[in-house]
Amino acid sequence: MNNRRKFIGTAAALAAGTLAATAMPITAMENKYPVVHHVFFWLKNPESKEDRDKLIAGIKALKKIETVKDIHVGVVASTEKRDVVDTSWSVSELILFSDVKGQAVYQDHPLHLEFIKNCSPLWEKVVVYDAIDA
């Protein structure tokens, strides 16, 4: 390889290196469970602690579904009030899956169907966000 070719080769490697460096954090931050399923529930009776606790218990039981890798059952956190923050919901369900197939298994699972049957009378609105790691 003559010097010119060597230089071009190095320049190309450097350019590729720059691209790789930009992409690096993607690899470095890869999560084990890249599918994020986040559901927000608005209760029919948002003042009812009983309804809220019944829904929370119902969601927690979903942990038993084998494709559910991690679960957070939440209520509105007391963070700073800002216009962009939606605090109108009552209960949230955050579940992590290994893949989209795991999410599909969860959707059709008897425990999930039982949860919907038992708990859906409690809520008046549901919004779901399904994300996958970029």
Query: For binding to its own copies (CB under 8 A), which residues are involved?
Result: 22, 25-26, 29, 31, 34-38, 40, 56-57, 60-61, 63, 70-80, 82, 84-87, 89, 91-92, 94, 100, 103-104, 107, 126-134
- For the bound state, the minimum distance from the C-beta of residue 7 to its own copies, rounded and expressed in Å, comes to 30
What's the CA gap between 133 and 34, in Å, rounded? 5
- For the bound state, the minimum distance from the C-beta of residue 8 to its own copies, rounded and expressed in Å, comes to 27
Kindly tell me which of 1 and 21 has the beta carbon lying closer to its own copies. Answer: 21
Write out the two tokens for 46: 């948002």
- For the bound state, the minimum distance from the C-beta of residue 3 to its own copies, rounded and expressed in Å, comes to 35
Contact 36, 100 (CB under 8 A): no
Write out the two tokens for 28: 């470095």
Q: For residue 105, which phi and psi values (nearest 5 degrees)?
A: -60, -45
